[in-house]
Amino acid sequence: MAKRVAIRKPPRGFSRFFYRFPILFYKWGWGGLFGKRMLLLNHTGRKSGLPRKAVLEVVNLDPETNTFIINVGFGPKTDWYQNLLAQPNASIMVGKEMIEVHAASIKGEAGGNFLLGYSQQHPKGAKMISKLLGYEVDGTDEDWRALGEQLIFVQLSPR
């Protein structure tokens, strides 16, 4: 069973720079370098009402509906997640394509299936992310599914 070995908080101070650096790639028109593995989320600040941005990894993509699934890695207090709860209409940039989306929170069994699929497609990335988030995973399908059921995911569906 996936075990939490450390509680990780969202980056602050200088380390935050490294998490926000990929935003510049989209600003410079180089978002296509990430393909469909990453997306730029454009959302509205829940307190300020100002535009906000975050680059996030895509856990799952349904190409038929153009629906993207992303993980709320640092938990329910993550700013971009709180902003989407307050204002679920947002936009994303995938490569050079801008898509208007509506966000919905996903928890439980569906999250387990998404993380299992991600771990099968990107085993090294999944292990790295689990360590980054403070979880120890034994690598079995059951363990990945159990971890996914503990995490929060967001579905971004075209409007």
Cα 30 from Cα 25, distance rounded (Å) = 5
Residue position matching structure tokens 């209409």: 89
Write the pLDDT tens digit of every residue in 59-99.
999 999 999 999 998 889 999 999 999 999 999 999 889 99
Write the pLDDT tens digit of every residue in 6-49.
667 777 788 788 888 999 999 999 998 999 999 999 999 999 99
What is the number of structural domains in the chain? 1
Residue position matching structure tokens 């034994």: 138
Distance of CA 1 to the CA centre of its chain: 22
| Residue 153 domain boundaries | 3-158
CATH code at position 8: 2.30.110.10
pTM: 0.90
Assess contact for 126 and 37: CB atoms under 8 A: no
Q: What are the strands, taking DSSP E only, across the chain?
A: 3-4, 38-44, 51-62, 67-71, 89-94, 97-106, 135-136, 153-158
